[in-house]
């Protein structure tokens, strides 16, 4: 099984490393051809407006959306990746580029200037032990639809959510040595592989 990391901008190498730590074949995704062989795609943090525009320029928006909606691609978005996956974005730029995959409303740069970057311990629902969330000019989930499971929250709001094959975190699990969230996503991708096998 291969998992791709969208390699347009942002924390690409860190995600590739975490996937390797999980003993998974990790590949870079820059164009539609490289999408066809992967069961999952990580959309890293960076700047959602830039990444979104470059997704469109690379011709990736259609293929990502179609593969996701047909159940053939699991997607994990961190920070800017979460913004890109959201149905609705508060405080986005005019014509904020979006993939509109998840039924969540997010607020960009939700922590204000003095708290733009910080670390905090948080509970990610499936795990018994807390993990360290690294937040860098992060978004918060303001509203989540019925089909969305809240995976983690801090006093300021929701910071992780899952909807079927879609996972999004406000924070950056790739910036710590803790591989648990990447492992959780790898397990989501293994289900995709099963679906693909059944379809074949
Ligand atoms: N504030 C950035 C944005 O919206 C996200 C920051 C990040 O990914 N670390 O796009």
Q: What is the DSSP string of 49-101?
A: HHHHHHHHHTT-HHHHHHHHHTT--EEEEETHHHHHHEEEEETPPTT------
Ranges of each domain in the chain = 2-199
Are 171 and 135 contacting, i.e. CB atoms less than 8 angstroms apart? yes
DSSP state of 13: H
Q: At 27, is the pLDDT very low, low, confident or very high (cuts 50, 70, 90)?
A: very high
Catalytic (active site) residue 182: no
Fold category of 2-199 in CATH: Rossmann fold (3.40.50)
Residue 86's Cβ-count burial label (10 Å; 0-12, 13-18, 19+) is buried
Catalytic (active site) residue 174: yes
β-bridge partners, 118 = 135
- C-alpha neighbours within 13 Å on the C-beta side of residue 159: 28
Q: Check 174, 182, 189, 194 and give the catalytic one.
A: 174
Residue of minimum CA distance from atom 8 in ligand 1 = 45
Q: At 7, is the pLDDT very low, low, confident or very high (cuts 50, 70, 90)?
A: very high
Q: Supply the pLDDT for residue 112.
A: 82
pLDDT tens string 125-173: 999 999 999 999 999 999 999 999 999 999 999 999 999 999 999 999 9
* Percentage helix, strand, coil for the chain under 3-state DSSP, each rounded to 5: 30, 30, 35
Q: Supply the pLDDT for residue 113.
A: 75
Q: Which residues sit with their C-beta closer than 6 Å to ligand 1?
A: 45-48, 79-80, 83, 108-109, 136-137
Catalytic (active site) residue 172: yes
Are 83 and 46 contacting, i.e. CB atoms less than 8 angstroms apart? no
Does position 195 have pLDDT exceeding 80, yes or no?
A: no
């Amino acid at each position: 099984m291969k998992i791709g990391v969208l390699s347009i901008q942002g924390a690409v190498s860190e995600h590739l490393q975490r996937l390797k730590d999980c003993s998974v074949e990790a590949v870079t995704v820059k164009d539609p051809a490289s999408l066809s062989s992967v069961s999952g795609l990580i959309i890293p943090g960076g700047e959602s407006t830039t990444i979104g525009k470059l997704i469109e320029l690379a011709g990736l928006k259609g293929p990502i959306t179609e593969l996701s909606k047909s159940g053939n691609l699991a997607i994990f978005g961190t920070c800017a990746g979460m913004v890109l996956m959201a149905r609705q974005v508060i405080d986005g730029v005019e014509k904020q580029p979006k993939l509109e995959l998840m039924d969540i409303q997010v607020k960009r740069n939700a922590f204000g200037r003095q708290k733009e970057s910080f670390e905090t311990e948080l509970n990610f629902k499936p795990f018994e032990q807390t993990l360290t969330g690294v937040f860098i000019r992060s978004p918060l989930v303001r509203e989540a639809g019925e089909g969305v499971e809240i995976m983690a929250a801090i006093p300021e709001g929701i910071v992780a959510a899952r909807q079927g094959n879609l996972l999004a975190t406000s924070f950056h699990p790739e910036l710590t040595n803790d591989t648990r969230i990447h492992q959780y996503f790898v397990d989501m991708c293994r289900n995709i592989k099963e679906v693909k096998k059944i379809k074949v």
